[in-house]
Amino acid sequence: MKKLLLSIILLFSVLAGPANAFWIWTPKSGKWVNPKTMPKPTPKEQFEYAASLYEIKNYEEAKREFDKLLKAYPRSLEASESQYYLGLIAENQDNLYQAFLDYQKVIDKYPFSERIQEIIEREYKIGEAFMSGYRRTALGVPLPVENPAIEIFSKVVENSTFGPLAPQAQYKLGLVLKGLARYYEAEEAFNKVISNYPNSEWAEASKYQIAVCRAATSRGPSYDQGAAKEAEQKFEEFIQEHPDASLSQQAEKSLDELREKEAEANYNIARFYEKQKAYTAARIYYSDIMKKYPTSKWSYKALERARIIDKLEKEK
């Protein structure tokens, strides 16, 4: 029996030799194992070895050793640090979305880690990078999300709802959604800034952004007069509440643009009635334009059309 066992060991060693690997029998597990894939005897030793590889920037080997620790000692104190280091490795390799995923695992699996606040800060910076146009591919493959900043800023808020970065993460989530023309979702995000963080510096800006979203909605494929009216009201409220705010000048400009658009819409309605020879209705709209939007270019056009209607009726 001993000879048979020895023969098997020798045969296995010969077959494994060309690959520079060897296997040994472990009575404890009752299995053949390759020592190269085995972790160190303790999680501390395994972590120190993996960390030493990280320090010399041997990231791929370090990653394998940290993964090995997580598999062998998932409940050890060193496990949370190993998961954190996987995030650092991904970040150093310029794979920011993977870094976010690795960091988030620390929060999900090891909520009592001392790294939580640092990780939230790192996630926030990664969100800002994607918001600023950081590439949305990993190894040349498009990421499975429209814009990772949406997921990342949402997680920053979720991870620390009333933490120092939550208000601005919530605000920037709204900006990303607005940039993707997802105006209703953006408005909801900005409303959360106002309701959850009313005393933050981002609440004031959120009121302005809500008005911008309403205005953008009104300029959709078909002019939405109701949305435009709501946007006007929001801009007016913002200007009244913050007359000295730097955003108030932009609000004034946006308000003028909305009024110009509304004047144009009313002018088109008046022209429709005029073409139908419903002159009384057309005159009402032209008069309304001249009264409400006296400085608009549509006011001068309305005056011109009103005079033409008067002339046509006199010729009857």
Which residues neighbour 284 within 8 Å (Cβ) at sequence distance 6 or greater? none
8-state DSSP, 41:
S
Question: What is the span of the domain harbouring residue 28?
Answer: 1-32
Distance between CA 196 and CA 82 in Å, rounded?
Answer: 35
Domain-embedded: residue 43: yes
Domain-embedded: residue 105: yes
Domain-embedded: residue 248: no
Which of 90, 93, 67, 88 shows the shortest CA–CA distance to 78? 67
| Cα torsion through 80, 84, 90, 91, rounded to 10 | 170
Residue 17 has a pLDDT of 47
Long-range contacts (CB closer than 8 Å, 24 or more residues apart) made by 312-316: 312/279, 313/279
Boundary residue ending a domain (96, 130, 164): 130
Distance between CA 238 and CA 252 in Å, rounded?
Answer: 10
Which of 260, 270, 205, 204 shows the shortest CA–CA distance to 232? 260
The burial class, CB within 10 Å (0-12 / 13-18 / 19+), for 225 is middle
Domain-embedded: residue 268: no
Question: How many other C-beta atoms are found inside a 10 Å radius of the C-beta of residue 274?
Answer: 20
SS3 of residue 25 by DSSP: strand
DSSP 119-165: HHHHHHHHHHHHHTT---EETTEEPSSS-HHHHHHHHHHHHTTTSTT
8-state DSSP, 35:
G
Boundary residue ending a domain (84, 103, 130): 130
Token pair for 284? 């009402």
Distance between CA 171 and CA 151 in Å, rounded?
Answer: 13
Boundary residue ending a domain (130, 146, 180): 130
Query: Do 17 and 95 fall into the same domain?
Result: no
Which of 241, 238, 264 shows the shortest CA–CA distance to 253? 238
Residue 214 has a pLDDT of 85
Residue 134 has a pLDDT of 87
Number of domains in the chain: 2
Q: Which helix (H) or strand (E) holds 20?
A: none
- In a structure prediction context, what are the per-residue pLDDT tens digits for the chain, which is 316 residues long? 555 544 544 444 544 444 445 555 555 555 554 556 788 999 999 999 999 999 999 999 999 999 999 999 999 999 999 999 999 999 999 999 999 999 999 999 999 999 999 999 999 999 999 999 887 666 566 666 678 999 999 999 999 988 999 999 999 999 999 999 999 999 999 999 999 999 998 998 898 889 888 888 776 555 566 666 676 666 666 666 666 566 666 666 766 776 777 777 778 878 877 787 778 888 887 888 888 788 888 888 888 888 888 887 776 6
Domain-embedded: residue 171: no
Q: Are 172 and 196 in contact (CB under 8 A)?
A: no
Query: Do 44 and 126 fall into the same domain?
Result: yes
pLDDT tens digits for range 232-272: 666 666 666 666 566 666 666 766 776 777 777 778 878 87
Domain-embedded: residue 88: yes
Query: Do 54 and 122 fall into the same domain?
Result: yes
Residue 19 has a pLDDT of 45
Token pair for 7? 């023969």
Q: Are 50 and 66 in contact (CB under 8 A)?
A: yes
Distance between CA 168 and CA 196 in Å, rounded?
Answer: 12
Distance between CA 107 and CA 97 in Å, rounded?
Answer: 16
Residue 220 has a pLDDT of 58
Domain CATH number, residue 47: 1.25.40.10
Helices (H), 161-221: 166-179, 183-196, 201-218
Distance between CA 187 and CA 177 in Å, rounded?
Answer: 9
| Cα torsion through 26, 30, 35, 37, rounded to 10 | -160
Domain-embedded: residue 197: no
pLDDT tens digits for range 182-238: 999 999 999 999 999 999 989 988 988 898 888 887 765 555 666 666 766 666 666
Q: Are 124 and 156 in contact (CB under 8 A)?
A: yes
